[in-house]
Amino acid sequence: MKFISSFFLGAAALANVVLADSEEFSFLGVRSASKFHLSAVHAEEGVLKIGGPGQALSGIITDDGKLKLSDGTYAVVKDNGALVESSQENGSSGFSVTDGYLQYVGNSGFFPVSNGNSYDLSVKPAEGSETAIGIRALNNAGAPIPDFP
């Protein structure tokens, strides 16, 4: 009987770990010798941007691979690669953190795409995009969060 109850307690603990979201993290653009090095991610009119003015966002990755942002929205990857904000139902799956870097479907390269005086964030290179940058996922102490999932 002790074995059975221990088994169920262990299974319940494992289920809690498997179904948990990532640690909350801030976004930090990194690309040495570029204007995007040490830049924050923010939203403007529903579009995710890198660098420039705006309230810096933080996020978590949900257990189903969606990127939930600190303003209550979810990141959506459009067909052209652009990152925009939307609802949970529309949120794109495929986000993760590996070696302290945000990834989308296993790729850690993100592209700043020139849009007037600002730069939209994309997962695909586009006309007007600079070289790819990495986005660090840092906890409140400034350290990279553990790999997730």
Mean pLDDT of 62-75: 98
Residue 36 lies in a domain: yes
Is the model's pLDDT at 2 over the cut of 70? no
Return the pLDDT at 66: 99
Number of domains in the chain: 1
In 3-state terms the chain splits into helix, strand, coil percentages (rounded to 5) of: 10, 40, 50
Is the model's pLDDT at 7 over the cut of 70? no
* Percent of the residues in the chain that have a pLDDT greater than 90, as a whole number: 83
Mean pLDDT of 85-93: 98
Residue 7 lies in a domain: no
Residue 38 lies in a domain: yes
Residue 51 lies in a domain: yes
33 or 94, which is more confident:
94
Domain boundaries, position 115: 21-138
Is the model's pLDDT at 127 over the cut of 90? no
Residue 11 lies in a domain: no
Residue 59 lies in a domain: yes
Is the model's pLDDT at 42 over the cut of 60? yes
- The closest of 48, 71, 47, 50 to 59, measured between CA atoms, is 71
| CATH number, position 52 | 2.80.10
Side chain identity at 49, as an amino acid letter?
K
Residue 96 lies in a domain: yes
Is the model's pLDDT at 15 over the cut of 90? no
